[in-house]
Amino acid sequence: QSVLTQPPSASGTPGQRVTISCSGSSSNIGSNTVNWYQQLPGTAPKFLIYSNNQRPSGVPDRFSGSKSGASASLAISGLQSEDEADYYCTAWDDSLNRVVFGGGTKLTVL
């Protein structure tokens, strides 16, 4: 059972905008920033978003993040077939003193 809650699946058509949610509690998302990772099939996770809405160098601006209270969202605009992947959210947890993970969301591009 993951500490952060994500929907197991999401889908969209090319060009569409999709969002993936991530909910937590006051000890993690409620008091710390959220990070997002993309995992393409058969590969290691890739660092996608940090501090709720910042993109590391090289990440397209089609990817954006937001946070409100103890929930966060990842948005992907102009959806492309290569965006088909699993997406995970994480946040620092002040009670556990470590990173906590969401269960992951499988994004399908129809």
The HSE-up count of residue 46 (CA atoms within 13 Å, CB side) is: 17
- Is position 91 an interface residue for another protein (rule: CB under 8 A)? yes
Tokens of residue 49, six digits: 């978003």
List all residues 6 or more positions away from 80 whose beta carbon is below 8 Å from its beta carbon.
Answer: 14, 62, 109
- Is position 85 an interface residue for another protein (rule: CB under 8 A)? no
User: What secondary structure does DSSP assign to 79-101, as a single string?
Assistant: --GGG-EEEEEEEEETTTTEEEE
Provide, rounded to whole angstroms, the least separation between the CB of residue 54 and another protein: 8
Contact, 3 vs 98, CB < 8 A?
Answer: no
Q: Which of 95, 96, 108, 110 binds another protein (CB under 8 A)?
A: 96
Q: Which of 37, 72, 85, 107 binds another protein (CB under 8 A)?
A: 37
- Is position 46 an interface residue for another protein (rule: CB under 8 A)? yes
Q: Which of 12, 22, 33, 83 binds another protein (CB under 8 A)?
A: 33
Q: In what order do the strands lie in the sheet with 18-23?
A: 18-23, 71-76, 63-68
- Is position 104 an interface residue for another protein (rule: CB under 8 A)? yes
Q: Which residues bind another protein (CB under 8 A)?
A: 2, 32-33, 35, 37, 39, 44-47, 50-51, 54, 56, 86, 88, 90-92, 96-104
